[in-house]
Amino acid sequence: MTLTRRAFLTTLGAGLGGLAARGRGRPAPAAGRGPPPVRTIHLEARAVRWELAPGRTVRAFAYNGQVPGPELRVREGERLRVVFTNALDEPTTIHWHGVDVPNAMDGVPGVTQPPVPPGGRFVYEFVARPAGTRWYHTHVAEHRQLDLGLAAPLIIEPAAPEPVAWDREVTLVLDDWVTGHGRPVPPTADGTAGGRGEAGGMMRGRGMGAMMGPMLGGHGPAYDTMTINGKAYPATEPLRLRRGERVRLRFVNASNEHTHVVRLAGHRLLVTHTDGNPLEAPVEVDALPIAPSERYDVLVTADRPGAWFLFCTQPAHADAGERMLVLYEGAAGARPPDPEPGVAGLLPWHYGLGRGRDVVPSATGRVRAFDLTLGGGMPGSDRWTINRKAYPDTDPLVVERGDRVRVRFVNMSPEAHPMHLHGQSFRVLAVNGVRYVAPVVKDSVDVEPHMGAVTVEFTAHNPGRWFLHCHRPTHMEGGMITLVEVRG
């Protein structure tokens, strides 16, 4: 795409009948000459008792006493100063997932900063960019700290108005919990988000993963509760709709283990952003697979009055709490149809459906290519590898600032890996041998098991030492991490 951003906005705005004009995206404050304005926020991590649902209270870790933590909203280009206090009795850090922070603000203990000790304090400061649905979370012992709730949305509102219009927006953070109450749900380690270009992964997930997973897997914790914004149904807060309005939903999958496949019964979902980055045009789907750490923005048009459920179609997830009432005005008391598991006959989203807007900075250096084979998952082993090595023994990807870096992941293991790169976003060039003409831009990409392959490309524009890792904490702890070293 060679259209400039301005030209594009004008074009698409016209194409959509001038919707841009009525969009909620507010224009940036007058371009000042001085330093960008600073917004100071105080965050504290602390252990709390948290009620997921009546009768289901757990010990959780919270930012500012909330699970998920408070949603931070800033304007693109604004300087964010976060004064962070650790009131846990263990060390922690904050990672700004999907934000191009300076390396020292990236929150990776032992790589970009020492962990913040109990009672300690750390000031994170960075310019908020790029725009989009980002999130923040702990980067210490995630298998416990992230699992206990240390995650929250960070919404960076674009400086320029967006070419889509909506009346209202709601952020929905999805999470999985081990409470010891209720029946464990089947694992979703087959992944679903990458897509073999069809619902293949999902079908296998439903069959083999669902039935044999609990027998075969056995080593992971038993997740039994699924939440939306820290609550399990019936404690989830209903979404109230007025007929004719358009609502923007921002989904964040903060789960450690589970991929969710979201539906809103009676409605289609218009996907507009992948991991916060805009598509050229919205894509209409029936169901939205979201791997751990991924985000999607969708628009919903309220044109089917009544009562409905927004829910996850993964086996047992809706029953484990992952559903919320969607109530039109005047529909109080109406009974929504029960959630239907599965996506048979539906059109689910996959990466190849979207045409990404090219928001990645252009490369000025050489093309560098790396092949990373993802391995592990041998019975009885917790070892997860990149090119047969476990972090810290993995080989770093050393590149120069400005290089165009192509990374090809091939997953030789039996579980999906949502691979996440810190500090810069990438284009998803190809999945399972299918090349995309207008790649979507993301910072996490699900690589399917059993020889699933994904090629991504990024411009190494952010100097420093960046983590590239699987976002399933058990895999990460097992070694599936490498460093991307951007020199210069």
Give the residues lining the site for ligand C2O (CB under 6 A): 95, 97, 137, 139, 293, 420, 422, 467, 469, 471
Which position has the token pair 């995309």? 436
97 vs 442 by CB, closer to ligand C2O: 97
256 vs 459 by CB, closer to ligand C2O: 256
Choose the one of ligand C2O, Cu ion, none that binds residue 442, judging by a C-beta under 5 to 8 angstroms depending on kind. Answer: none
Answer for which of 421, 475, 477, 482 binds Cu ion (CB under 5 A) is 475
CA 426, distance to chain mean position in Å, is 14
156 vs 283 by CB, closer to ligand C2O: 156
Q: Tell me which stretch binds Cu ion (CB under 5 A): 84-92, 223-231, 240-248, 413-421.
A: 413-421
Q: Tell me which stretch binds Cu ion (CB under 5 A): 99-107, 140-148, 235-243, 411-419.
A: 411-419
56 vs 471 by CB, closer to ligand C2O: 471
Give min distance, CB of 393 to ligand C2O, in A: 18
Give min distance, CB of 254 to ligand C2O, in A: 9
Tell me the C-alpha distance between 253 and 269, whole Å.
Answer: 17
* Terminal-to-terminal C-alpha distance of the chain: 28
Give min distance, CB of 256 to ligand C2O, in A: 11
Pairing of β 288-290 and β 295-301: unpaired
Q: Which two tokens stand for residue 265?
A: 């019964």
Tell me the residue number closest to ligand C2O, measured at CB: 97
Residue 67, helix vs strand vs coil: coil
Choose the one of ligand C2O, Cu ion, none that binds residue 267, judging by a C-beta under 5 to 8 angstroms depending on kind. Answer: none
Choose the one of ligand C2O, Cu ion, none that binds residue 422, judging by a C-beta under 5 to 8 angstroms depending on kind. Answer: ligand C2O
Answer for which of 95, 206, 417, 420 binds Cu ion (CB under 5 A) is 417
484 within 8 A of 223, measured Cβ to Cβ = no
Which position has the token pair 């923040």? 136
Give min distance, CB of 272 to Cu ion, in A: 28
Tell me the C-alpha distance between 446 and 453, whole Å.
Answer: 10
Give min distance, CB of 464 to Cu ion, in A: 23
Residue 93 phi/psi, 5-degree rounding, is -150, 170
In DSSP notation, 238-302 reads PEEE-TT-EEEEEEEE--SS--EEEEETT--EEEEEETTEEEEEEEEESBEEE-TT-EEEEEEE-
Give min distance, CB of 5 to ligand C2O, in A: 27
- Strand pairing partners for 154? 72, 134
In DSSP notation, 188-243 reads -TT--SS-SSSSHHHHHIIIIIHHHHHHH--SS----EEEETTB-TTSSPPEEE-T
228 within 8 A of 172, measured Cβ to Cβ = yes
Q: Tell me which stretch binds Cu ion (CB under 5 A): 301-309, 336-344, 450-458, 470-478.
A: 470-478
Choose the one of Cu ion, ligand C2O, none that binds residue 475, judging by a C-beta under 5 to 8 angstroms depending on kind. Answer: Cu ion
Q: Tell me which stretch binds Cu ion (CB under 5 A): 227-235, 265-273, 409-417, 439-447.
A: 409-417
Give min distance, CB of 127 to Cu ion, in A: 31
Answer for which of 276, 390, 472, 473 binds Cu ion (CB under 5 A) is 472
When asked if residue 470 is in the footprint of Cu ion (CB under 5 A), the reply is yes
Choose the one of ligand C2O, Cu ion, none that binds residue 417, judging by a C-beta under 5 to 8 angstroms depending on kind. Answer: Cu ion
Q: Which two tokens stand for residue 384?
A: 């997860």
Alpha-carbon torsion 204, 207, 210, 216, what sign? negative
Give min distance, CB of 97 to ligand C2O, in A: 4
- Strand pairing partners for 471? none
Tell me the C-alpha distance between 294 and 444, whole Å.
Answer: 6
Count CB neighbours of 367 within 10 A: 10
357 vs 472 by CB, closer to Cu ion: 472
Give min distance, CB of 411 to Cu ion, in A: 9
Give kind and range of the element (H or E) at residue 5: helix 5-15
134 vs 317 by CB, closer to ligand C2O: 134
162 vs 190 by CB, closer to Cu ion: 190
Residues engaged in binding Cu ion (CB under 5 A): 417, 470, 472, 475
